[in-house]
Structure 1
């Protein structure tokens, strides 16, 4: 085998582009070549070619599976690190918000000045009466948030600390990338006792043999293949839903839920500079590929393949590429 596995990539890619049936047709062409132009099937002992084919395919299948698992693991590690950063920032914010107040002891002179100011304020309040109260009310009304007057915001709930909502039977939180649902169960169960059905725009969650706890249309589309669920400690069901549109906040989990005010969401953005070089590069690549897909443009891997094919075409102007399909 060649020491450089990518040595013939450009040539094979050019061939693949001319097979409208995809990999199946490409394999048929290669096997047909071996049958017609070589003694691959007849030159060895009986069954030898089958062993060669089996070993070759299984070897490369194993490599492909290992690479896929490596990419998946790297993505999971990157997501985990991002969550850890978000949790750390949230803890720091909470620590700042609940920092205990300090008590400063006043000197005799400062206490006397404070008392004099209090007496002065009381005199003014006695003299002016309701006029000052009305003015204070006007100021308070002026400072009121405009959104309270917006009819679209009336009746909407304030988001919980996770930018989602705490409901009677479950709690959900969200980031721009995903939605996390936690359903506490009233009894110890096994995964096979649960019924969790995740569709692109519909979610069903419940215990087998009982009415569904959740059965409704989701607020937006999710990626089925990237969405998962797990039973924790036999009593808590955790469901992760990967959003398709990573630019919008959800106003509710399912359309039958009360709506939250997305205006009041105040997320803690992750800082890429906090990540190590390898993880940062992986996250930036994922973000770039996501933007390219949303705009209908080729991802980094697709661009690389197109560049290889373009270079090959320039090196072989005598070949006819008029029937090639560039995907």
Structure 2
């Protein structure tokens, strides 16, 4: 083998070094391509698993609204095969109220909307896709089939409406406002009276006093089993509110147990008329009305005479 000179040996060394660098670069690029391909496969498998198993549809439209991709199990509810709408224009397929979010996304806005199409309720997310210059080139969308959830929601709302109406009926039956005499309302209260129920009663009774132009309102507690501090305070406030409307509030039928509770709570009833039962309360109202009529120079009614005589 012929001996190489110093110049030839240097050239050989440089060429070998270049080959090593090129080989390393090529190997690195090959490794990067392998990693990218593996990542793409992972993403594709994940997307495929999601589209094949969940009630969703993934789709993409270009700037003109042409559908580039449209796939997912969610289309089963619409009885349409995957890809059926690819190549068609979304703005031609759907009315403005459905396609408007797509136009907004093409304008650069991230949109979340709920629509109904193909007989299915959808919850949509429209995501604008931008190029390197920041211009929107397309929109990627995800549509979730919420038909079943909406149905359950409507059923639950209907059930709540029924319960609310039933509750109102029970409330009206348990606290009926009765006109037992001309200008006299009676509110028989039954059971345990809590602060929430008393507040509702206050609204109803005050409205009835104004509507019927009542001069007296009798709160009959004969059927009340127990009261607490707030309830007792509400009753006092109710009587005072009745007085502000130009009528007189009278409490009747306080049971011994309720009376003891009121005393222990330190609630003052000095300024409020309290009577033993509803009949005594009605007699009081009739007598007061007759006295007011006499003082005003007006004759009292035959009904008043009859009630007074029967009492």
How does the TM-score come out when normalised to structure 1? 0.21
Q: Which one has the largest radius of gyration? A: 2
| Higher helix proportion | 2
Higher relative contact order (CA 8 A, sep 6+): 1
How does the TM-score come out when normalised to structure 2? 0.22
| Higher strand proportion | 2
